[in-house]
Chains A and B, each alone.
Chain A
Amino acid sequence: HVLFDSQHPKFPPDIVLDASDSSFCPVLTDISSLTEWDPSDENSLRLVVYELLELFRKHQLHVAEQIDHIKFNTEFLLESDHYCRFDVHVKRREGSEDNVRVKLYIQLPVAFSSLPAYLTSDSLGDDQAILAVTFYSSDAAHVTPKLKFSPSLERALGSITNIRIPRWGDEFGSCLMDYVPEVCKRIEDKFEEISAAYGKRKELVSVFLSHFGSSLIEYDAERFSRMTFLLSYQGFQCLVHSMSK
């Protein structure tokens, strides 16, 4: 917890650490924005939080690297050009120094620009794909990966498809060096599939409009997922409604 009294801004904030992170004892002199607290600078509090977070990240990484099979994977991430943006969270089971759960949140370098605009238009910030991998110190074979997207993209992609990531330990190996590139490839393949399907739907609607435009009732001009026309057949008027999922 970072406690700041806005009524007395000349005093720097207090930092209260949770009992579950008792091993984290940052040296206060390492947080320069705290030791050189400037109440006139509106960014002062934000800088304190950033520096504290950075120290916490380094501490978490240090704790995680005490476990051999996790250190092997984090070293790969740190040395790689594409997967070096990641966070670590270590949770120790109460009463057990040996039973540790380590979660790695790896930001995946996928290109969202290939997706149709309607999938990313609601995004408030940068779109992200995060691979969350959970390791257990007690069992090197017990690893659970999970794929997460930024909220707006999760909502949009969830309505179209669920991207299936491979099981840990199967043909794509039991280390991040093999696993993460495969996950990225699957995401990119799925994005390409979504983009191609969108292009086909758009083309289909365009062809129908060029032939039956004078009979148009309405069509989905954003996703091209449906169109309706009013046609005439032997004196009867019929609505023809086409939908794609």
Chain B
Amino acid sequence: MYKFMLPCLPVDLFSCSKPRSMLSLSKMAVDMFVKVKSRIDSRHQVALVALQNTAEWVCDFTSDPFRICDTLSSLQSQPTADEFDLSELLRVINDHVILPEVPDITLPPPYTVRVILIYGRSSCVPSIQSTECREAFSRLTQSPYFFLDVLYIHEISSDSNNCENILDALYHLDLRLANYCLEASQHTVKIFNLMGSLLAHPLQRPFQDERKPWRVC
């Protein structure tokens, strides 16, 4: 059983005081993730979606981690929009992803599909504005073989941004409590550690609140 993964990387990660550094950090984290995942099992396949004002499928599913990393390195930052509609992302996913149908749920599926949304805006609350896309999202999340993990990288929460509301909106995307929703405030080590947690296979990993890396003395 192998897995299709879909890191969704917002390329406008720079409404903070250090433009480009956090985008580079996110790219490095995804680069590490893709290469390690391929090293664990070369059958895993990854596709890449860039989130700007719309969602763009920039690299199709491939088991070649270097192809993903090359595409990743070519992404450039864009100006931040005031709002972000997740409908575009869901539309793109619906167009490119076919979920497995397994007649007997006790049998392992041939593959699972996991979307890893890396969201980097501190002022823009994401939402699903299209009714049609909300229904499509509901159908996707009803499948036991579809997962939506979120890594939220944000500025330090303050009155001048909307981090808490954004985190709340991202938490509420998890309708089955089977997904991971992780957040970090631009802390390099923490971001990489969280990406490490996201390496876990969604059908085998513990629930988010039960997960902890075992401390070796």
Interface flags for A230-241 (1: CB within 8 Å of B; 0: not) read 111100011101
With contacts A228-B40, A230-B199, A237-B196 taken as known, whether A214 is within 8 angstroms of B210 at the C-beta atoms is yes
Asked if B91 lies at the interface with its beta carbon under 8 angstroms from chain A, I say no
Q: Min CB distance, B39 to chain A, in Å? A: 8
User: What's the Cα separation between A238 and B216 when bound, in Å?
Assistant: 10
Name which residue of chain B comes closest to A241, CB basis.
Answer: B40
Q: Min CB distance, A243 to chain B, in Å? A: 10
Asked if A19 lies at the interface with its beta carbon under 8 angstroms from chain B, I say no
* Interface contact B204-A216, CB-CB below 8 Å: yes
Q: Min CB distance, A51 to chain B, in Å? A: 40
Chain A contact surface mostly: strand
Asked if B212 lies at the interface with its beta carbon under 8 angstroms from chain A, I say yes
Q: Min CB distance, A217 to chain B, in Å? A: 5
User: What's the Cα separation between A161 and B114 when bound, in Å?
Assistant: 35
* Interface contact B41-A218, CB-CB below 8 Å: yes
Give the interface residue-count category, chain A: 20 to 34
* Interface contact B201-A217, CB-CB below 8 Å: yes
Asked if A222 lies at the interface with its beta carbon under 8 angstroms from chain B, I say yes
Asked if A213 lies at the interface with its beta carbon under 8 angstroms from chain B, I say yes
Asked if B18 lies at the interface with its beta carbon under 8 angstroms from chain A, I say no
User: What's the Cα separation between A20 and B212 when bound, in Å?
Assistant: 73
User: What's the Cα separation between A239 and B193 when bound, in Å?
Assistant: 11
The listed residue with most B CB atoms (<10 A of its CB), out of A214, A219, A238, is A214
* Interface contact A215-B201, CB-CB below 8 Å: no
Asked if B79 lies at the interface with its beta carbon under 8 angstroms from chain A, I say no
Name which residue of chain B comes closest to A219, CB basis.
Answer: B204
Interface flags for A160-204 (1: CB within 8 Å of B; 0: not) read 000000000000000000000000000000000000000000000
* Interface contact B212-A214, CB-CB below 8 Å: yes
Interface flags for A109-125 (1: CB within 8 Å of B; 0: not) read 00000000000000000
Asked if A76 lies at the interface with its beta carbon under 8 angstroms from chain B, I say no
Q: Which residues of A contact B210 (CB under 8 A)?
A: 214
User: What's the Cα separation between A241 and B41 when bound, in Å?
Assistant: 11
Asked if A3 lies at the interface with its beta carbon under 8 angstroms from chain B, I say no
Q: Which residues of A contact B39 (CB under 8 A)?
A: 241
* Interface contact B215-A218, CB-CB below 8 Å: no
Residue among B1, B108, B197, B215 making CB contact with A233, cutoff 8 Å = B215
* Interface contact B196-A214, CB-CB below 8 Å: no
User: What's the Cα separation between A53 and B142 when bound, in Å?
Assistant: 55
Interface flags for B141-152 (1: CB within 8 Å of A; 0: not) read 000000000000
* Interface contact A218-B214, CB-CB below 8 Å: no
Residue among A222, A226, A228, A231 making CB contact with B213, cutoff 8 Å = A231
Q: Which residues of A contact B40 (CB under 8 A)?
A: 217-218, 226, 228, 241
* Interface contact B200-A239, CB-CB below 8 Å: no
Asked if A27 lies at the interface with its beta carbon under 8 angstroms from chain B, I say no
Q: Which residues of B contact A11 (CB under 8 A)?
A: none
* Interface contact B214-A215, CB-CB below 8 Å: yes
Asked if B206 lies at the interface with its beta carbon under 8 angstroms from chain A, I say yes
Q: Min CB distance, A17 to chain B, in Å? A: 47
User: What's the Cα separation between A221 and B39 when bound, in Å?
Assistant: 17
Q: State which residues 172-217 of B face A: CB under 8 Å.
A: 192-193, 196-197, 199-201, 204-206, 210-216
* Interface contact B206-A232, CB-CB below 8 Å: no
Q: Which residues of A contact B (CB under 8 A)?
A: 211-219, 221-222, 226, 228-233, 237-239, 241
Extra inter-chain contacts (14) besides given A212-B214, A232-B214, A241-B40, CB under 8 Å: A211-B214, A214-B206, A214-B212, A218-B40, A218-B200, A218-B201, A221-B108, A226-B40, A228-B199, A230-B200, A230-B213, A231-B213, A231-B214, A232-B216
Q: Which residues of B contact A (CB under 8 A)?
A: 1, 36, 39-41, 108, 192-193, 196-197, 199-201, 204-206, 210-216
Q: Please list 22 pairs of residues, one from A and one from B, whose beta carbons are closer than 8 Å in the complex, sorted by A's number.
A: A211-B214, A214-B206, A215-B212, A216-B201, A217-B199, A217-B200, A217-B201, A218-B40, A218-B199, A218-B204, A219-B204, A221-B1, A222-B108, A226-B41, A229-B214, A230-B196, A230-B197, A231-B213, A231-B214, A237-B192, A239-B196, A241-B39
